[in-house]
Amino acid sequence: MGKISLQKVEKRFGDVSVIPPLDLEVEDGEFVVFVGPSGCGKSTLLRLIAGLEDTTSGKIFIDGADATQLAPAKRGLAMVFQSYALYPHMTVRKNIAFPLKMAGVPQAEIEEKVDYAARVLNLSNYLDRRPGQLSGGQRQRVAIGRAIVRSPSAFLFDEPLSNLDAALRVNMRLEITELHQNLKTTMIYVTHDQVEAMTMADKIVVLQAGVVEQVGSPLELYHRPRNIFVAGFIGSPK
């Protein structure tokens, strides 16, 4: 579970082509990073996969099934947003449990899943706090917890660390990589940060103006960049 396939997926906003027809394969269990400068279409591509935007043309397959017309909630994916989008008046426990409550999951099962997510994310001691009483990194983990409890076939991250300070970013990078190693679930991770891409990815997708410039492992991109854009982008970390 967690194989995602894009076939000639295109997105236009009015007359503007943001994503020209594009093919992409994400294998089950892979950690794939979409990287590219601001405005190149990373978020749009992720939102197309999540179903938050409709494709102009082309098809999206999830685990072999055509998901192009499926509502976001039916795709079995979990999106983790840049802004934490936590409910400030709810405890951590309630924030994490929220998607399960909405789905009508029995209380005993909710508690089991929340406890599991809290253990995996080192949040067990913070379950009764509210988001305002947490650090930025802890808040980000709660947002990830809310994704974990839904047992998605893939996690979609849109620049999840961009609100954090530099030291915390390094920490969270390691935590998300470790989470991937533990869960072995497909992750698609959007960033404009070359260092995040190089250190976290199994496979990097380099985008420029909606076009896939190159797909490859960090080593392949580093040693055999296909063009000057990839070479410059990968070779010049901030």
For position 40 contacting ligand ADP by CB under 6 A, the verdict is: yes
For position 44 contacting Mg ion by CB under 5 A, the verdict is: no
| Residue 221 vs residues 172, 197, 211: alpha-carbon distances, Å | 24, 11, 16
225 contacts 212 by C-beta, under 8 angstroms: no
**What is the number of other CB atoms lying within 10 angstroms of the CB of residue 90?**
14
Amino acid letter, residue 236: S
Q: Which of 2, 41, 218, 225 binds ligand ADP (CB under 6 A)?
A: 41
Q: Nearer Cβ to ligand ADP, position 20 or 99? A: 20
Stretch that binds ligand ADP, among 32-40, 100-108, 174-182, 227-235 (CB under 6 A): 32-40
Q: Which of 43, 68, 95, 186 binds ligand ADP (CB under 6 A)?
A: 43
* Lookup: tokens for 223: 């040693």
Nearest approach in angstroms of CB 148 to ligand ADP is 24
| Residue 33 vs residues 42, 88, 119, 127, 228: alpha-carbon distances, Å | 10, 30, 26, 30, 20
Q: Nearer Cβ to ligand ADP, position 39 or 237? A: 39
Q: Which of 13, 184, 195, 224 binds ligand ADP (CB under 6 A)?
A: 13
* Lookup: tokens for 191: 């960033």
Q: Which of 27, 39, 83, 89 binds ligand ADP (CB under 6 A)?
A: 39
For position 191 contacting ligand ADP by CB under 6 A, the verdict is: no
Nearest approach in angstroms of CB 67 to ligand ADP is 20
Contacting residues for 79 by C-beta, under 8 A, at least 6 apart: 46, 50, 52, 72, 147, 155, 156, 157, 158
Nearest approach in angstroms of CB 149 to ligand ADP is 27
For position 43 contacting Mg ion by CB under 5 A, the verdict is: yes
Stretch that binds Mg ion, among 13-21, 39-47, 127-135, 139-147 (CB under 5 A): 39-47
How many residues belong to the site for Mg ion (CB under 5 A)? 1
Nearest approach in angstroms of CB 39 to Mg ion is 8
Q: Nearer Cβ to ligand ADP, position 120 or 211? A: 211
23 contacts 29 by C-beta, under 8 angstroms: no
- For the four alpha carbons of 46, 51, 52 and 53, in that order, the dihedral sign comes to positive
Residue with the CB atom nearest Mg ion in the bound state: 43
